[in-house]
Amino acid sequence: MRAFDAMGTRFECVLVAFSRAMQPFEPVAIAEEIELLIKDWHARLSVFDETSCVSVINRIAADTPVTIDRELLALIRRCLHAARMTDGAFDISLGSLMQAHGFRPTPAETAPARFGWRSVRLDEHASTIRFTQPGIRLDFGGVAKGFALDLARNELRAQGLVSGLLHGGTSSVVGIGLSPDGRPWRVRATPDDPSAPVVDLTDLAMSVSAPTGRMANGKGHIMDGRSASPSSGCLAACVVGPSAEVCEVWSTTLVVEPALLDALPPGFQASIRRDDLWSSSGQPVPFDPSPSICSEVHEHVRV
Amino acid sequence: MSEFDRRDFLAMAAGSAAAFAFVPSALGSRVWTHADALRIGVVGAGRQGRAAVGELTKIDGVTVTGICDTDERRLASGLRRSSGAKGFSTVDAMLKSNDIDAVVVATPTHTHKEVALAALAAGKHIYCECPLAHTRADCSAIAQAARGAGAVAAGGFQGRSNPVYQLARGFFKSDSVRDMVTLRAQNNEKTSWVSPASDPARYNELNWKLDPAVSLGLAGELGAQQFDVFHWYTDRYPVRVIGRGSIRAWEDGRKVPDTISLMLEFDNGAVLQYAATIGNSYEGAAEYFYGTNAAIKLGWSHGWMFKESDAPTQGWEVYANRQQFHNDEGITLIAGATKLAEQGKLKDGVGLPHPSLYYALADWINAIGSGGTPACSMDEAARATVVGIAANEAVMTSKPVDIDLSTL
């Protein structure tokens, strides 16, 4: 087991069994690689670090196109597709709203706070991003952990992991294979709620979002760009499926807009809690053991 | 002016200049000023190569146009980190492409010579990661090739281009620490030094750092980088090294010690005590200079000065940021203090905004653009590496090793 802090939370990975013979300490080295991988993306996506890729984009993309790498370009492309699909219920351009409600550091510059995913433009050929108006600030808080866990899952599968569990802050979880006792990795969506869904995560990911997960001034941390305010669509949303990134995108989305419960991509299952009642939709399909399948899974967001 | 007055004057001058007028070029201005982009190829897409790609993408006017690695997975990973580089499986193929002006050598240490010489022969500017090579002969060969080339060749000894280290060196040279008493450094990490190999046939190849035939161990791979800070500050190289090493944390049959201690002796009687381990991370990597007036601690992104109670107070100290370390109070050495003060962020900006690698690459690129000399020439890199090679020999043999730089 390895635990480390990244992306404002605690990550843990339990690596139980590999399909190939390992050299002494090779599992330790694999866990070290996972920690470096996630911390690297933390450093790139952090809005708390002024030199991170995202902070540089937020500072200058309204003035000039910013060249970004293919991996970040692909992540932003998928997020913009999700925004289009959900008509803005999922939106990575709400950084200024997060700042206004005390969840993010306030920038030194005094550009008016604006948001809206339609103001974010990608040039796929030039590999650049720009904003069509000043004041836009990207924030990957609603997708980063899931994205990082998918990358970690891919790396672990490539190294031959056949049994293991990863989570970021317990709200994003990936189960690989079976647990050491031969049974599925069994996880309850919200531990303090006996009526919450209990999920068997065999080659599946899960994400849980709730407005009360983080609070400031009595308001939750999930923003609704459509109303320019903290969302209160439902009390909690849990999504299970083959990609942690897609699960997190949709658990965030459903907290903002529970009516999209039936619009879930194929292969994913969602449960949302309104008052004391949980309601569900969809059927989860496990991810393929092949590491390359992850990019195809992401395409579900684009359907 | 008496000797005492001269020293005080120098200390005060360095304080005012360094703390409030010092804005390193890499912090405050554009690194590459030419209209055409500088096209860089990175050889080696392991951890260090990918880090270099990441830092290069931060520099305006610079484009990573090629990445080379023999391992397909690593190459793919490196390419994802770029904004459109071409992938190559051989150095020759990359050098023959018409899209490369300069090359970053980030392969295993014992393969640096082959890549560096090929790149220099092709007329490319090169930046070679630290340490330069695993043998004295290879160090000589690279330094000699760089001397005869019409290209800018830089070694990856990052202290020389690090803004905090440049700032602190001003204090050191100004006599703020006064008479040097002793030197100390450490590098503590918690890491296995094992590279996982999804293809078991490649395990030994990927784990070259654990092969005593080619590895310079902790002394060369970690220590040499830090020893060079002392060379640069004191304008001296050690003449003799005594070392010990053992396996304390990672008992997997390895022959390369995971914990070492060294004493590096200088010709003026000064001694650098060095300790490194990969079994515990407490206090990380740092270099310490102890003088009769003050001590300086350098931690790559941060630097501090600790004054003795009988040392004179200088005017600039009144405005300085301070941090408490148990019973000691450190004055933060802030690079770019003037700029931070203008922004009202002097108290916040206690560390460097970028990793040290960024400044080393930026310095090399700036030298290419200006036709100047990089902060770390290949000759300096060769000398520093030979000290690392000798230190590793001392650890592996448990015998004193004399350091002879005259053959370089």
At the top level of CATH, the class of B3-24+163-355+378-402 is: alpha beta
The β-bridge relationship of strands B125-129 and B259-265 is unpaired
- The pLDDT value given to residue A45: 94
Q: How far is CA A156 from the centre of its chain?
A: 18
Last residue of a domain, one of A131, A162, A177: A131
Topology of domain B25-159 in CATH is Rossmann fold (3.40.50)
Q: Does B343 touch chain A (CB under 8 A)?
A: yes
C-alpha distances in Å from residue B344, one per residue of A177, B321, B336, B347, B391 = 53, 13, 12, 8, 45
- Residue A72 contacts by C-beta under 8 Å, 6 or more apart in sequence? A44, A53
Query: With contacts defined as CB-CB under 8 Å, which chain A residues touch B194?
Result: 23, 25-26, 28-29
Q: Verify that A210 and A296 share a domain, yes or no.
A: yes
State which residue of chain B sits closest to A37, comparing Cα positions. Answer: B47
- The pLDDT value given to residue A104: 78
Site from A67, A110, A124 to mutate, B interface, most B CB atoms within 10 angstroms: A67
- Residue A248 contacts by C-beta under 8 Å, 6 or more apart in sequence? A142, A143, A145, A146, A147, A172, A207, A209, A239
Angle between helix A26-45 and helix A144-158 axes, rounded to 10 deg:
150
Angle at the Cα of A233 (from A229 to A234), degrees rounded to 5?
A: 135
- Mean pLDDT of the region B45-49: 95
Q: Verify that A73 and A199 share a domain, yes or no.
A: no
pLDDT at B181 over 50: yes
Does A47 fall in a domain?
A: no
Using DSSP's 3-state secondary structure scheme, residue B372 falls into coil
pLDDT digits (tens, 9 = 90+) for B244-279: 999 999 999 999 999 999 999 999 999 999 999 999
pLDDT digits (tens, 9 = 90+) for B53-84: 999 998 989 999 999 999 998 999 999 999 98
Q: Verify that A194 and A158 share a domain, yes or no.
A: yes
Whole-angstrom distance, CA of residue B203 vs CA of residue B278: 20
Q: Do A26 and B194 touch (CB under 8 A)?
A: yes
Q: Verify that A295 and A194 share a domain, yes or no.
A: yes
Q: Do B192 and A29 touch (CB under 8 A)?
A: yes
Closest C-alpha among A236, A232, A228, A207 to residue A219: A232
Question: Which member of B82, B194, B250 has the closest CB to residue A69?
Answer: B82
Structure tokens at B147: 């001397």
Does A117 fall in a domain?
A: yes
Q: Do A28 and B192 touch (CB under 8 A)?
A: yes
Question: Which member of B83, B194, B253 has the closest CB to residue A67?
Answer: B83
Q: Does B148 touch chain A (CB under 8 A)?
A: no
CB B100 within 8 A of CB B115: no
Query: With contacts defined as CB-CB under 8 Å, which chain A residues touch B354?
Result: 51
Q: Does A1 touch chain B (CB under 8 A)?
A: no
Rounded to a whole number of angstroms, the CA Rg of chain B reads 21
Share of chain A above pLDDT 90, in %: 66
Cβ count near B1 (within 10 Å): 8
CB B48 within 8 A of CB B76: no
Distance from CA of B144 to the nearest CA of A (A): 36
Site from B50, B73, B83 to mutate, A interface, most A CB atoms within 10 angstroms: B83
The helix (run of H) or strand (run of E) holding residue B184 is strand B180-188
Number of domains in chain A: 2
Q: Do B84 and A23 touch (CB under 8 A)?
A: no
Q: Does B150 touch chain A (CB under 8 A)?
A: no
Domain interval for residue A262: 2-36+143-302
Q: Does B350 touch chain A (CB under 8 A)?
A: no
Bond from prior residue into B131 cis (ω within 30 degrees of 0): yes
Eight-state DSSP code of residue B123: T
Of the given ranges (A184-198, B9-23, B91-105, B388-402), which has the lowest mean pLDDT? B9-23
Query: With contacts defined as CB-CB under 8 Å, which chain A residues touch B58?
Result: 51, 56
| HEC letters along chain A | CEEEEECCEEEEEEEEEECCCCCCCHHHHHHHHHHHHHHHHHHHHCCCCCCCHHHHHHHHCCCCCEECCHHHHHHHHHHHHHHHHCCCCCCCCEHHHHHHCCCCCCCCCCCCCCCCHHHEEEECCCCEEEECCCCCECCCCCCHHHHHHHHHHHHHHHCCEEEEEEEECCCEEEEECCCCCCCCCEEECCCCCCCCCEEECCCEEEEEECHHHCEECCEECCEECCCCEECCCCCEEEEEECCHHHHHHHHHHHHHCHHHHHHCCCCCEEEEEECCEEEEEECCCCCCCCCCHHHHHHHHHHC
B376 versus A51: which is more confidently predicted? Answer: B376
Q: Does A173 touch chain B (CB under 8 A)?
A: no
pLDDT digits (tens, 9 = 90+) for A5-58: 998 899 999 999 999 999 999 999 999 999 999 999 999 998 888 888 999 999
B347-370 burial code (b ≥16 CB/10 A, e <16):
eebbebebbbbbbbbbbbbbbbbe
Q: Verify that A213 and A97 share a domain, yes or no.
A: no
Q: Give the CATH number, domain containing residue A114.
A: 1.10.3980.10
Q: Do B80 and A70 touch (CB under 8 A)?
A: yes
Last residue of a domain, one of A131, A157, A177: A131
pLDDT at A123 over 70: yes
Q: Do B196 and A29 touch (CB under 8 A)?
A: yes
Half-sphere CA count of B290, side-chain side, radius 13 A? 9
Q: Does A158 touch chain B (CB under 8 A)?
A: yes
- Mean pLDDT of the region B16-27: 38
- The pLDDT value given to residue B15: 46
Q: Do A70 and B58 touch (CB under 8 A)?
A: no
Q: Does B194 touch chain A (CB under 8 A)?
A: yes
Q: Verify that A158 and A277 share a domain, yes or no.
A: yes
Domain boundaries, chain B: 3-24+163-355+378-402, 25-159
Structure tokens at B316: 């600039």
Query: With contacts defined as CB-CB under 8 Å, which chain B residues touch A50?
Result: 353
Share of chain A above pLDDT 70, in %: 91
Q: Verify that A86 and A151 share a domain, yes or no.
A: no
Question: Which member of A26, A32, A70 has the closest CB to residue B83?
Answer: A70
Query: With contacts defined as CB-CB under 8 Å, which chain B residues touch A127?
Result: 83-84
The helix (run of H) or strand (run of E) holding residue B358 is helix B356-370
Does A271 fall in a domain?
A: yes
Does A199 fall in a domain?
A: yes
Question: Which member of B53, B58, B198 has the closest CB to residue A160?
Answer: B198
B190 versus B321: which is more confidently predicted? Answer: B190
The confidence band for A303, taking pLDDT boundaries of 50, 70 and 90, is very low
Q: How confident is the prediction for chain B on average, in pLDDT?
A: 90
Question: Which member of B84, B194, B343 has the closest CB to residue A108?
Answer: B343
Question: Which member of A23, A44, A56 has the closest CB to residue B203?
Answer: A23
Query: With contacts defined as CB-CB under 8 Å, which chain B residues touch A30?
Result: 196
Whole-angstrom distance, CA of residue A31 vs CA of residue A34: 5
Of the given ranges (A16-30, B135-149, B304-318, B343-357), which has the lowest mean pLDDT? B343-357
Structure tokens at A244: 């942690």
- Mean pLDDT of the region B210-220: 98
CB B331 within 8 A of CB B339: no
Restricting to A residues 190-249, those with a Cβ less than 8 Å away from any Cβ of B are: none
Does A282 fall in a domain?
A: yes
Of the given ranges (A152-166, A167-181, A183-197, B116-130), which has the lowest mean pLDDT? A183-197
- The pLDDT value given to residue A36: 95
Last residue of a domain, one of A75, A106, A131: A131
Q: Verify that A189 and A265 share a domain, yes or no.
A: yes
Q: Do A69 and B83 touch (CB under 8 A)?
A: yes
Distance from CA of A70 to the nearest CA of B (A): 5
